[in-house]
Amino acid sequence: KQILITRPMVHLEDQDKMGFLPGGIEEKTGPWMRPISEALDFLKETTGERNRKIIEGMIEKKKFVTEPLDYIRGMSYYRCILIIDEAQNLTPHQVKTIITRAGEGTKIIFTGDLGQIDLRRRLDRRSSGLAYAINRMVGHEEECKMVAATNFKETVRSPLAKFGERVL
């Protein structure tokens, strides 16, 4: 039916230094959702004319929807794909809240890098909700075939990003 993309609204140093943002919901969440629109723009530019047209058509028909993660409570999502970006910054409680909102026919994709947790005062590689979900849900193949995890070994942004991840 549609692809809903969201991410936690986490401040870089785990402190809100931006304060109140004026405007409606789109203006308030725009800075948080910008990486998603930039990723879609990158895909449109680099994956060929056919894919560019598909992505543009999906955006135009509102098949790609961005929503702030803070408003997921109380929702049920049916026949859609939920992409949760920056999931390394979620708590176990938040991950459970997200997963338990999945209605019939919904798939959830969590993306994140446990090496890039921004809530260092509260989360680490073991306490992150992303790590929690992987540890608790993967490996129950005899019970269900609904959960999988993929661990990429390479940094995909750039050689500079790879170097920074290694030495910093």
* Residue whose pair of structure tokens reads 């919901």 in the numeric block: 25
Written as six digits, the tokens of 78 are 């049916």
CA triple 53-83-118, angle to 5 deg: 120
pTM of the predicted model as reported, rounded to 2 decimal places: 0.80
Distance CA 140, CA 124 (A): 24
Flag whether pLDDT at 61 surpasses 70: yes
Buried b (16+ CB within 10 A) or exposed e, 105-122: ebebebebebeebbbeee
Q: What is the pLDDT of residues 64-118, one digit of tens each?
A: 888 888 878 888 999 999 999 989 989 999 999 999 999 999 999 999 988 888 7
Amino acid at residue number 48: G
Lowest model confidence (mean pLDDT) among 33-42, 101-110, 124-133? 33-42
Flag whether pLDDT at 24 surpasses 90: no
- Over residues 28-46, mean pLDDT: 84
* pLDDT level of residue 34 (50, 70, 90 thresholds): confident
Flag whether pLDDT at 131 surpasses 90: yes
Using CA atoms, how far residue 62 sits from 39, 55, 73, 137, in Å, is 17, 10, 22, 31
Distance from the first to the final alpha carbon of the chain: 42
Contact 16, 94 (CB under 8 A): no
Distance CA 58, CA 17 (A): 35
